Amino acid sequence: MSGLTGERGRWIRVRMGVLCGLLAVGLGLIASSAWDIMGNDGAIWREAAERQRQRRLHFPPKRGTVYDRNGSALAVSVDVPSVSLDAAELLRNVEPADQMAFAARVASRLAEALTLDVEDVRQKLLSRRRFVWLKHRITTDEAERIRLLTSDKAPDGERVRGLSVDGEGQRFYPRRELCGQLLGIVSPDGHGLEGLELSLDKELEGHVEQLRGLRDRSGRLLFADGIQDDQALAGHDVYLTIDQAIQYVAERELGLAAQTFEAAGGSVVVVEPDTGEILASASWPTYNPNDFRQSSSEARRTRGSTVVFEPGSTMKIFTAAAGLAGGAVSPTQKLYCEKGAMAVDNVMIRDTHPSEWLSLPQILALSSNVCAAKIGLSLGGDKLYEALRRFGFGQETGVPLPGESSGTLRPRGRPWVQVETASASFGQGIAVTNLQMAMAVSAVANGGNLLEPILVKRVTTSTGEVVREAVPRIRHRVIPQRVARAVAEMLVGVTEGQGTGTEANVAGYRVAGKTATAQKTDPQTGRYSIDRYVASFVGFVPADKPVIAVSVMIDEPMVEHAGGAVAAPVFRRLAEMVLAERGLTPDLTKPADLAVLARSADPAAAAVELIREAEGKKPPVQEFAPVSGRPARDHVRVPDMTGWPLREAVRAAWTLGVEPRVSGTGLLARQVPAPGQDLAKGAELLLVFEPAT
């Protein structure tokens, strides 16, 4: 360098100076930019880098389990495989010009493996989204085909990246139809649609979390920060007041009655009078929530709280109670029944059993419309209305079920006229739900307190911590205790002697109850129909220390329509099972340890065992008809029991050592196998009963 002189040397030194200056300026700019990036925009660039290295992880929480009061699962969530896609990872390293063809080729393979529409899959691939569901709840074969596509053994040697087969929760109802309407259904995306699944959705669904995980160059997850234990994300567990053994018998007996009498529908509500806990709520027709797409909206209705009907004569319970509490009538007073016909505002009120003078117990036992109307008119429209409101009619009970109806007491904006007061006294012109009837009669059973119904007994976290627990709550006192006790005694006469509800009588117990046979209104004419009825029975047992209150409603029975013949037997058979399950005997002194059977995993078998315990130890009151010859070894000969009542026929079957399967009510009309045939011990004997004519 020092040897360079003259013009040439000066030129070289100038060029080197300029070059060094440019390099210095460039270095300064680089340093300035680096400082700007790291100092001022550092957070933005670091976040962009993290987004490139990380992927969002979806952790759908496990939906909470629904149990009955004894801890038996009614609704659970099970994991089933589902396929998700990371479209950005799939198209990584694919040239933009080749992405359309590549996506079409992969979409065809995925659509074939999962039985999907090719175009829908292709659109998802081209979305370049980091997470998208391809198909929910795939079969085992589909999962295997997807795993093959993502492995090194993929067909054509072309491995598909970005696919993931993960477990996704699916709702499963292990008891099938049991409590179907109460529980409701869950949509494929995990949200409740009907029933308790809808009303308790926020508590059952859990906490949805979205976390970020670090991935390597090929997109494989290395680890994720903040992953919690599955139980921390899971939804709350719900314990209902429902007893699955009682629920099973309620559904079975309701279904048998509805089919026997060719009814359009029906419901049964069983309540514990002292606490307000709902032990069973059955609706018919029923459906299997595991296969709800095959059901109708009518079958999925919780009829006990959504369907309203004119109660008819069961309303006389509350008219009589209001009359006693209000001083309009006394327990020993007799009323003149006008020989079965009385005109009110040019409307003729008639009795089915015309009488002259009846006491209050006789008015209930013979179900006099005329005398009930006189009690209501003596009270006056306003006082009767207020009394029925205090019993809970015309307002929602507050049960946590969607679509509950409040019923109808009287038109808004005006009081009852005289004929409306008279009609309401015996249950016409008003509308109630079966749950309202059960809660109202529970107020009579427990001494006069109207309770809030309890369906959800307890809610806990998935780790067992109690979130909330229900306790009995009294809404208000409806009638004095002495009045409730008097009405209960009067209602015993309905199920004994010449009363209309003798079919509800349980041997060895005093049953308090009331029947009703209410005509339905024809929507086309606006008048009462001559062939459409609602048959119902409401009552409690034992009358002096009730353990259950039951309301039975059968809608539009066709073979027979009287409440005493259609609904009362449902009450009796249900009450027999519950009394046995509670360990009570007719003398109320010797408890039986049957609770374990009632909480069996098989409620059908448990119910049969309970009835066997209550009935099977007593010898049949009738003897078998003699037959000729001897049956084969380990066989018995079926006797002719035609015309026998249900109880004696069932006892006789158990004495023979065969299992009775009962259909219908009334007297035995047909046996399968027929009388005189041999039947293996332990085999099933079908007993078909029909109402006596």
- List, by residue number, the catalytic residues: 313
Q: What are the φ/ψ torsions at residue 132 (nearest 5 degrees)?
A: -155, 140
Q: What are the residues whose beta carbons fall under 8 Å from the beta carbon of 53, sequence distance 6 or more?
A: 214, 215
Instruction: Report CA-CA distances (Å) from 67 to 19, 64, 457, 458, 599.
Output: 83, 10, 10, 10, 12
DSSP 471: -
DSSP 640: -
Measured between alpha carbons, how far is 441 from 239 in angstroms, rounded to an integer?
25
Q: What are the φ/ψ torsions at residue 18 (nearest 5 degrees)?
A: -60, -45
162 within 8 A of 87, measured Cβ to Cβ: yes
Measured between alpha carbons, how far is 387 from 220 in angstroms, rounded to an integer?
71
Nearest Cα to 273, choosing from 457, 470, 472, 458?
472
476 within 8 A of 390, measured Cβ to Cβ: yes
Measured between alpha carbons, how far is 145 from 134 in angstroms, rounded to an integer?
14
Strand 659-664 with 684-690, pairing: parallel
Angle, vertex CA 561, rays to CA 557 and CA 562, nearest 5: 145
Nearest Cα to 627, choosing from 676, 680, 681, 677?
676
Nearest Cα to 593, choosing from 572, 605, 610?
610
Q: What are the residues whose beta carbons fall under 8 Å from the beta carbon of 146, sequence distance 6 or more?
A: 83, 113, 114, 138, 163, 165
Instruction: Report CA-CA distances (Å) from 106 to 103, 146, 252, 385, 495.
Output: 5, 12, 53, 72, 74
* Residue 261 token pair: 């009498």
- 3-state secondary structure at position 297: coil
- 3-state secondary structure at position 444: helix
Instruction: Output the CA torsion sign for 444, 446, 451, 457.
Output: negative
Please identify which residue in the block is written with the tokens 């040897």.
Answer: 3
Q: Report whether the peptide linkage leading into residue 188 is cis, meaning its omega lies within 30 degrees of zero.
A: no
492 within 8 A of 504, measured Cβ to Cβ: no
Please identify which residue in the block is written with the tokens 């009045």.
Answer: 483
Nearest Cα to 124, choosing from 80, 168, 91?
91
Torsion of CA 110, 111, 112, 116, to 10 degrees: 140
* Residue 428 token pair: 């016409």
Strand 163-172 with 73-85, pairing: antiparallel
Measured between alpha carbons, how far is 309 from 429 in angstroms, rounded to an integer?
10
List the helix and strand counts (H, then E) for the chain.
24, 28
Q: Where do runs of H (alpha helix) occur along 391-505?
A: 418-425, 434-445, 481-492
Torsion of CA 46, 47, 51, 52, to 10 degrees: -20
Measured between alpha carbons, how far is 181 from 297 in angstroms, rounded to an integer?
10
